[in-house]
Amino acid sequence: MKLGIFGATGLVGQTMLKILEERESFKDVQVEVFASSRSKGQEIDYRGQKLVVQELSEESIKAGGLDYALSALDADLAAKFLPLAAQEGIVCIDNSSYFRMDPDKPLVVPEINLDTIRPEDKIIPSPNCSTIQSVIPLKPIYDAFGIKRIIYSTYQSTSGSGVGGLRDLEEGLKGKEPTTYPYPIAFNLLPHIDKFLDNGYTKEEMKMINETRKILGDDNLAITATAVRVPVKFAHAVSINVETKKPFSLDQVYKVLEDFPGLVVQDDPAKKIYPMNLYTEGKDEVFVGRIRRDESIENGLNLWCTADNIRKGAALNTIQILEKVAKLA
Ligand code: 2RA
C-alpha cells in the first residue's frame, strides 16, 4: 500500500506523520510526502528514513502510483488537487472544509458514522476540529434521549490557525504586533474565527452548526454557536448546553458517556477533576466533564469538553478513517 501525505510540511501534515509512526498498523505502508513548491526537496524523518518532499502537482499525482492520500491542504488546494487524485483512483481522506457539506459525500467521525462511507467514495471529508470533539459526547446523548437544541461556546487554541497563530501568541507575549489575527491574542480573547458571513455568524460557527446536523443525520436540529479564539497553544475546549427530548438522570448520562468509544469522562468537582486544555495536548481521546443539569429548563444539560485539535480534531481523525477504509484496523 502506498500512501501520500498532501500538505506534509504544515502543522497537521507533520502530526499525521507523527501519528503514522506511532501506529503499528502503518509499519508496512510506504509513505510519500507532498507539499507546495516552496518545500520541494526538503527532507522529513520518518521511521528512520528521510522522506524527500515532492511538489504537489497534477504530474506528481499521476506519477505517484498512490493508493490512498491523507490531505492537510487548505480548502482551495483541496478543491484543485483532490478531484484529480480521485480520478487517478486514489482514495483521499480530506481535512479541509471544501467537500464537507457536499450532499454526495459523507462527513466522517469513525466513532459515529463509518457506515456512511460507500465503496465508491474517493474523497472522504473529515469534519472541523471543534465539531469532531463536540459530536463525540453528543452522539450517545442523542441516541439515548434525543436532542432538541444545542448551544455551543468554543474556546479554541491558536494552533487552529497553524504556525501563524502560534507565532502571534508567542510573539504577542513579548509585546509584538500580530500578523495572523486582526488583534493581539496574547492577554486577549477574539470572538472571531474565520470570516464573517451575512447572517452575522462566522464561518467557524456555521461549520459547527451545519456539520453537527450532517453527522448526527438530523437537518432539523436547533443549534447555535459562538466560536472564540483563546491564548492557548494546543487543544480546544467547548462548552455545550443541550436540551434533550426525553427526561434523563445524571447517572444515565454518565453511563452513556462512559460507554462511548474515544471519550473519557473526567468529572469530580470535589477533587477538582475536570478536562483542561493543557493536559489534553498530545492525547487521542476527547475529554468531558462539568456534567450537570441546566436548571433553567426541564431537560437541560451542561457539558465541558476538550480535545487536541491537531490530533483528534484533524490528523488522527483522518488516520482513523483511513485505517478502517484500508482495513488496517
Ligand atoms: C480553527 N477550526 O481552530 C479551525 C481549524 N480548522 O481555527
The burial of 27, by beta-carbon neighbours within 10 Å (0-12 exposed, 13-18 middle, 19 or more buried), is given as exposed
Q: Which three cell numbers stand for residue 266?
A: 473526567
Counting atoms of ligand 1 from 1, which one is nearest the CA of 314?
6
Place of cell 444539560: 301
Binning the chain into helix, strand and coil, the percentages to the nearest 5 are 35, 25, 35
* pLDDT range class, residue 329, cuts 50, 70, 90: confident
Residue whose CB lies within 8 A of the most ligand 1 atoms, among 161, 180, 181, for a mutation test: 161
Ligand 1 centroid from CA 78, angstroms: 16
Residues 6+ apart with CB under 8 A from 11: 159, 162, 163, 166, 310
Residues 6+ apart with CB under 8 A from 196: 202, 203
**pLDDT tens, position by position, 68-124:** 999 999 999 999 999 999 999 999 999 999 999 999 999 999 999 999 999 999 999
92 is known as an active-site residue? no
pLDDT surpassing 90 at residue 58: yes
Counting atoms of ligand 1 from 1, which one is nearest the CA of 156?
3
Tell me, what DSSP letter sits at residue 53?
P
Ligand 1 centroid from CA 289, angstroms: 22
> Where do the domains of the chain lie, and which CATH numbers do they carry?
2-127+314-325 (3.40.50.720), 130-309 (3.30.360.10)
The burial of 89, by beta-carbon neighbours within 10 Å (0-12 exposed, 13-18 middle, 19 or more buried), is given as exposed
Q: Measured from the CB, is residue 131 less than 6 Å from ligand 1?
A: no
pTM of the full structure: 0.97
**pLDDT tens, position by position, 145-183:** 999 999 999 999 999 999 999 999 999 999 999 999 999
- Single-letter code of the amino acid located at 220: N
